[in-house]
Amino acid sequence: MFNYAYCVLFINVYSVVISILMVDRTTMTALNETHSPDLISWVDTANAPGTDFPIQNLPFAIFRRQESSEFFRGGVAIGDQIVDLLKAKETDLFGGLALSGIEACGGDSLNAFMALGKECWSALRLRLSQLLRNDISEEVKQLLAECLVPQDQVEFSLPCSIGDYTDFYTSIHHATTVGSLFRPDNPLLPNYKWVPIGYHGRASSIVVSGNDFARPSGQTKSADVEAPALGPCKRLDYELELGVYMGVGNDLGTPIDLDSAEDHAFGVSLLNDWSARDIQAWEYQPLGPFLSKNFISSVSPWIVTMEALAPFRANWTRDAEDPQPLAYLDSDSLRDAGAIDIKLEVYLETEQMREASSPAVQLAESNFIQSYWTLSQMIAHHTVTGCNLRTGDFLGTGTQSGASEGETGSMLELSSGGKKSFSLPNGEQRTFLADGDKVILKGWCSNSSARRIGFGEVSGTVIP
């Protein structure tokens, strides 16, 4: 006969043992049982082909039911459902580091959980994977089923409190294309191939997906007038990016070594760093972007953990004809598995499309595997001065464009700097975004030896 008390005791002891065994894992996260493509969940929608959230993913977010007075709290995606971690904690199905982790997810941000470190992150993810597998007992399934909330019935908040935001410029294809618009004879400045370029952005205006925003106003100057003027931006753009959330920070004055950099990264989300190109053109010299970037940046609600991305690691290479990175930005493990194969897409839905009930149209696709600089290089370089990154700090990758036509991550590239318009399937023309336009970014990972996982989506609509 099933003895629930003994089952819970065994589960808790097993979780502690697994947690201890996982302490010695390497920086480039190793594959483990949670990555097996054969795992099936008792949540049926997690097994559907093409779902972003199979049992092999288990990303984190902050949510509450729509139009409720509930507190925002932590949740994990499984199929079309969310595991309410605050309620799941009350089931007594968690022990050891997994219990410490789930207890830290009960507030309105994930900062406390993210500060606990990768052994705790991994222990909670493993425990959730075990509980959501199809071969778990019916009694446990029933307990956890009462903790599920349908995703289409919730609203999201930012997954964590973001203290600082740094935006990098890691795509050489984007940098070269944009540089050629302004410096045809010298599109790529000499420092680009030596140093991960970045600037400090505005953390207070980062919002979660679904927030509409007004077209920003600012100071611009046309070439044919003597003085600038204040007015609405006319060259509004999106930027297809990824964002990295820092987990455990470093002490001021203590750089993070390249090979331990990903120990500090909690996970990755989609990022749209909206840009006012005409404001940017007038303000950016000599210190770079300011008002052209500070009005809004949109992130997807889900953070896909670094551990979930382990099956999609790839070799990182640098063209032999290019300068090789300095020693603090290079290592054998980086070359071995420093790149990540993340496929990215941009969709546009215009007001006219919505009125005609037409689907959004794909504008571009790209892949983070083409990035000139990796996540670990971004972190190592950011801290080489002794800069202290803190839990919840956010790093943008910069616009991710590819080498081929159709892989451009911004309208600036699609329209050749606004010099030519492009046609949409319904006959509309665009150079930059119009009022009523909705931009949707999507991302996912897949290969022949792993289950496809996704990032959800990030969207935003421009209003007058």
Residue 284 labeled ligand binder: yes
In Å, what is the CA distance from 46 to each residue of 52, 70, 214, 449, 454? 8, 26, 36, 18, 12
Closest residue by Cα to residue 123 from 228, 221, 47, 11: 11
Asked whether the CA dihedral 80, 85, 89, 94 is positive or negative, the reply is positive
8 Å CB contact between 461 and 212: yes
Q: Checking DSSP bridges between strand 154-157 and strand 148-150, what pairing results, if any?
A: unpaired
Q: How many CA atoms lie within 13 A of 201 on its CB side?
A: 29
Instruction: Report the DSSP beta bridge partners of residue 218.
Output: 231
Residue 280 labeled ligand binder: yes
> Does residue 456 come out as left (phi exceeding 0), alpha (psi in the -120 to 50 range) or beta?
left
CA angle 330, 389, 337 (to 5 degrees): 30
Q: Which two tokens stand for residue 353?
A: 């499309």
Residue 130 labeled ligand binder: no
Residue 459 labeled ligand binder: no
In Å, what is the CA distance from 290 to each residue of 202, 272, 278, 346, 376? 9, 16, 12, 25, 26
Q: What is the DSSP string of 169-226?
A: ---HHHHHHHHHHH-TT--S-TTTTTS--EEE--GGGEEETT--EEPPEEEE--TTSS
Residue 169 labeled ligand binder: yes
Residue 336 labeled ligand binder: no
Residue 183 labeled ligand binder: yes
Instruction: Decide if 264 is catalytic.
Output: no
Q: How many CA atoms lie within 13 A of 146 on its CB side?
A: 10
Residue 67 labeled ligand binder: no
Catalytic member of 35, 173, 174, 381: 174
Closest residue by Cα to residue 262 from 204, 331, 198: 331
DSSP state of 306: T
In Å, what is the CA distance from 249 to each residue of 164, 245, 291? 12, 11, 28
Residue 64 labeled ligand binder: no
In Å, what is the CA distance from 436 to each residue of 111, 277, 295, 346, 439? 35, 18, 17, 16, 10
How many helices (H) and strands (E) would you count in the chain?
12, 26
8 Å CB contact between 209 and 458: yes
Q: Rounded distance, CA 67 to CA 33, Å?
A: 38
Annotated binding site: 167, 169, 183, 239, 241, 273, 280, 284, 293, 297, 399
Active site residues: 174
Annotated binding site for substrate: 169, 183, 280, 284, 399
Annotated binding site for Ca(2+): 167, 239, 241, 273
Annotated binding site for Mg(2+): 273, 293, 297
